Chain A
């Protein structure tokens, strides 16, 4: 007999009993009560909502009848009337129909709860709780009943996506402790209903029992901030090793490294009560564990899942960081539960035949340990507060200046003894060494940036459905810390361009061109002269000269009829707004990219050059000064002011003979330099707007500077010295004075200004064009 039929029978019995009751019999209600009990205690089938209503009705009738019994004979008649109507209503429900409003007598106080559309998963929970509540009430366990009822309300709210007040949760939890004590006097395990909830998609369900207990204790912002830093580092490390794993599926070291990351993060996030992160890493860790044991093979889909996990991890850690900074709630990540379910599903697949094979692979490639990678990681590192580091380096800079001041003074020390100069030379050597060390502290290897690039190329390649092999070399090349950070965006952009535009659209296209199907994108870094050179190259189609030329004419960047040199045509892509891309894709083609790239690199005092061969590929070459802190300059005197001109920008200096200077109509002063005319102008004019009289370059020196293939001559009185100086920036709103790149403290203690050669050249050529005779 089904439950439903059993219920119907019970209700029938009940009705009969009520009908047969004698209203004058004081004990008439007792058998009715007896008949109500089984209805209350029926094992509840949660999916049959009607059963709850019957159950609630029965319970209410029970208490009503009891009260009537206690209050004596006078109320028996009324009670019987009420009960019989109620029983009739119950029968209607049991038959699967809705009773009319009037069916349940108001005396029962049975409120027709408005049937809220509880989602199925909530419905079962809700009903279990309600059931529990009623059972508890009948059993006289008031606390339990109250607690269960409170939780039921919470579930109801959740199912309607209503906001929960913290107090509600707290009160419910407190009520539950009361219930526990009431039920047993000893601590009970979490009730069945709570455990069931762990399979339900509700925030409550992700609560890890231990974690939530400690949740209050571990929200110390300082500790959380450290967690954020560590988690980010772990995420980077995991990603790096996942990339290795993807390339070399048998790389045991890499797999273990990834596993360790998630294992560590599991305990950390649990400790901090970061429930969602905990859930994510816990499931990912079990997935990884299965892979380690050989129960699962590493497939493309699996790697995708792992990468997605890392992405979620990064996003969620960033959310924690943001919530710390802004003092708000931690934002949730949409799609997280979906992702976790996917992981669970993948993990639960039965071990495949492949597992045996992968096991074999794991064992065989026990030559796993990539020695050089490990060795590189072996360097012991120390974390330093970057502010302290900067101050240390500033101080070292001061010592260098002080030393040169002493040097300058020493030259005029007539009574210097032999020992004095020996000591001075020793000081020189030590300072030089200290200085180099200081500079070295600021340097950082490019490897970290390159690794990020690898991930980006990989993702982009998948996005565009292209097979691309990415190699990075020269990661140990070091460059100033501040530069590394600013390099990222330009590099990302260039790589995206390479993937999107550089590489042929399909493998077929490549095959037709006689190239291997898998394209190559390379990034290479090395030292050359005083610079760090970073090359980004691809073996794709190369730049299309004709299309760029056409677009250049179209955008008005080239005059019609003028055909510039090839190199100048390629340089057009650096102009703002320029784009020949047929389609504006998500990654590029909007024409805002390459000019920003160029500007960013120039802001770092670097330059970028293009080399391309149609059909064979393109190479971008970025050249940056290793450190921006110290440069070599030529000190020049003009009137009684001294100016520093960066040696790198100087081509040569001449004392023009009378014949080589000329005033060209409309263009001002020029000198003839090996066949070409170089415009000359005076710093006086640039800086103070007025020309000194008799500034005609006779008897003076012209320093020829060059930038981007353009030249100008700077008129000075004489060259004084060649020095290495520490570059300081002018602050207080004077950072952007045109023509001044910065300043330094000279050996006489005075402040000396550093000339911005590029700016000067720009002004010089512009002035010449505007000059009135």
Chain B
């Protein structure tokens, strides 16, 4: 059913701005009575007409209207009502037709008599206003039952689509029911989340009422979230299946065709296309509500997120309310009163006392006693009736009494001359460096030799050799025949190669003889190119 469009002001060709606004005013004139001076009276009158229409009494006279007004709004005489009716006619809410019924009095004959009825514009305005009132008052609900119904309908659609020749009537019915349920669900969810937000912001909510029903509200939210999670997933699956092979497209076309069959004559040719577009649009809306696509989350997930977020928000509001109630009535007023008291206090000492009593942020203060005095008192207890003057006083260090500090201030210590010790250490270090350099020179083989050819080593050189051997053997893996390693300090490099003959190498040292399988070895001293002073 197409909705009637008001006469489009711009459709009559280019018009000037003044005429355009006049035309717009004329279109929305039926709403003008809302902001007029006697708006309450006008509303009552319109309500009378609406009530009368429900009783199928379409035409009303001014006297009838006057009688039907509720007593508190009824003006003194019928003239005020007649004037109101005339204004309403002027705005286009009502229509006045001459009254041709028979009269019995002479003055009635001369009076202009009209009989009034609602115009189409007036009726539309009333519908709009009642929808407005209802939407304002609606708190909405999170309908989990609607979710169950949607699941059922989708399953039915699946069954229908699986048939060879789907029944158009049944498809139409199911799709209509589905669309209706879904609309209700979405609408109600929107209204509920809106009112929930208002509740959380505590607009127009009584604190006591809120605290009383917050538990039920939280339970309600949690139950809905639960249902949304389980059923939402199922619905998304079903939608996926329906869209899978274009099955739902077929059903939609059938439904559109069936609807178009009912169209009025002047819309017949475009009806089917329009109907199909409408139904396709609804289907897309349903899918978008439950199925997330890339870059866009489904409405169901958004709703879930908001409902989940609402619970801790509610709890924090409750907590704030409790805090506010646990305190005093108005802390700001308290502080201002305190400012006044501080200003009016007689002197500074009084102000300090007020600070201490009002804010209580002062530290405790106590005299001290040292451990010696305590020990002495422990040894010889002082009777409680001894006056302070007769008890032993505190022991205070004479140092403190004399100078005011515990440390003795004396001459600073002289810097001692340590150059002799430093010289000895330097000599020691130089000797050690020479020994190591000599050991390196001894070990370095120019070219490859066998281990057995190294001969006899002194202890320092032997230690160095063992370390090198350890480094290179650490890199030995099964199957290698030759390997290279550098020593830890990077000064020597050793290259070891396995020999096939089973000879043993012997190296004599003052501490003993070192034996092992013979290898060829090449040891290079990496510091050879560096001047002696820099090599370590």
Q: Do A and B bind each other?
A: no
Q: Measuring CB to CB, which residues of chain B are less than 8 angstroms from any residue of chain A?
A: none
Instruction: Name A residues whose Cβ lies closer than 8 Å to a Cβ of B.
Output: none
